[in-house]
Structure 1
Amino acid sequence: MKIAFVGKGGSGKTTLSSLFIRHLTANEAPVLAVDADINQHLGAALGLDDAESAALPAMGAHLPLIKEYLRGSNPRIASAETMIKTTPPGTGSRLLRIREDNPVYGACARHVALDDGEIRLMATGPFTESDLGVACYHSKVGAVELCLNHLVDGPEEFVVVDMTAGSDSFASGMFTRFDMTFLVAEPTRKGISVYRQYKDYARDFGVALKVVGNKVRDADDLEFLRAEAGDDLLVTVGHSDWVRAMEKGRPPRFEMLEAENRLALQFLQNAAEDSYAHRDWERYMRQMVHFHLKNAASWGNERTGADLASQVDPAFVLSEQYAEVSTAS
Structure 2
Amino acid sequence: MRVAFVGKGGSGKTTLSALFARQLARSGAPVLAVDGDINQHLAEALDPAADTAPFEAPPLAAHLSDLKDLLRGTNARIASREAMVKTTPPGRGSRLLRLLGDDELHTRHVQRVGGVPLMVTGEFDESDLGVACYHSKLGAVELYLSHLVDGPGEYLVMDMTAGADAFASGLFTRFDMTFLVAEPTRKGVSVYRQYRDNAREFGIPLAVVGNKVTGEDDLLFLKEEVGDDLLTHLVVSPWVRSAERGRPQGELEEPNRHALRLLRETVDAREKNWPAMHRHAVEFHLRNARAWADAATGQDLAAQVDPEFVPGPASLH
Corresponding residue for 1:211? 208
Quote the Cα distance in structure 2 between the aligned partners of 1:208 and 1:45.
Answer: 26
Quote the Cα distance in structure 2 between the aligned partners of 1:154 and 1:102.
Answer: 16
Corresponding residue for 2:145? 148
CA shift digits 1:258-317 (9 cap, x unpaired) = 111111001101111112x1x322121111100001111111111122221111110101
Quote the Cα distance in structure 2 between the aligned partners of 1:313 and 1:244.
Answer: 50
Corresponding residue for 2:157? 160
Quote the Cα distance in structure 2 between the aligned partners of 1:211 and 1:49.
Answer: 33
SS of 1:81's partner is: coil
Residue 264 (str. 1) matches residue 259 (str. 2):
yes
Once the two structures are TM-superposed, the CA of residue 237 in structure 1 deviates from its matched residue by: 0.2
Closer, same or farther: CA 41–101 of 1 in aligned 2, 3 Å: same
CA shift digits 1:222-242 (9 cap, x unpaired) = 000011111100000012222
Quote the Cα distance in structure 2 between the aligned partners of 1:33 and 1:85.
Answer: 20
Contact 1:62 1:108 in 2 (8 A): no
SS of 1:40's partner is: coil
Query: Which one-letter code corresponds to 1:34 in the other structure?
Result: V
Quote the Cα distance in structure 2 between the aligned partners of 1:76 and 1:128.
Answer: 34
Corresponding residue for 2:79? 78
Report how many residues are paired.
Answer: 315
Contact 2:44 2:53 in 1 (8 A): no
Residue 317 (str. 1) matches residue 284 (str. 2):
no
Quote the Cα distance in structure 2 between the aligned partners of 1:81 and 1:305.
Answer: 10
Quote the Cα distance in structure 2 between the aligned partners of 1:97 and 1:287.
Answer: 20
Alignment of 1:247-326 (within 5 A): 247-252=244-249, 256-275=251-270, 277=271, 279-322=272-315, 325=316
Quote the Cα distance in structure 2 between the aligned partners of 1:149 and 1:39.
Answer: 23
Once the two structures are TM-superposed, the CA of residue 252 in structure 1 deviates from its matched residue by: 4.5
Residue 27 (str. 1) matches residue 24 (str. 2):
no
Residue 68 (str. 1) matches residue 69 (str. 2):
yes
TM-score norm. by structure 1 comes to 0.92
Q: 4+ runs of 1 displaced by more than 4 Å?
A: none
Quote the Cα distance in structure 1 between the aligned partners of 2:238 and 2:244.
Answer: 10
Contact 2:57 2:108 in 1 (8 A): no
TM-score norm. by structure 2 comes to 0.96
Corresponding residue for 2:185? 188
Once the two structures are TM-superposed, the CA of residue 20 in structure 1 deviates from its matched residue by: 0.3
Quote the Cα distance in structure 2 between the aligned partners of 1:292 and 1:150.
Answer: 14
Quote the Cα distance in structure 2 between the aligned partners of 1:162 and 1:183.
Answer: 11
Quote the Cα distance in structure 2 between the aligned partners of 1:220 and 1:261.
Answer: 18
CA shift digits 1:75-121 (9 cap, x unpaired) = 1111122111111111111111114121111222222242xxxx321
Quote the Cα distance in structure 1 between the aligned partners of 2:308 and 2:51.
Answer: 47
Corresponding residue for 1:108? 109
Contact 1:44 1:50 in 2 (8 A): no
**Long gaps (5+) in structure 1:** none
Corresponding residue for 1:238? 235
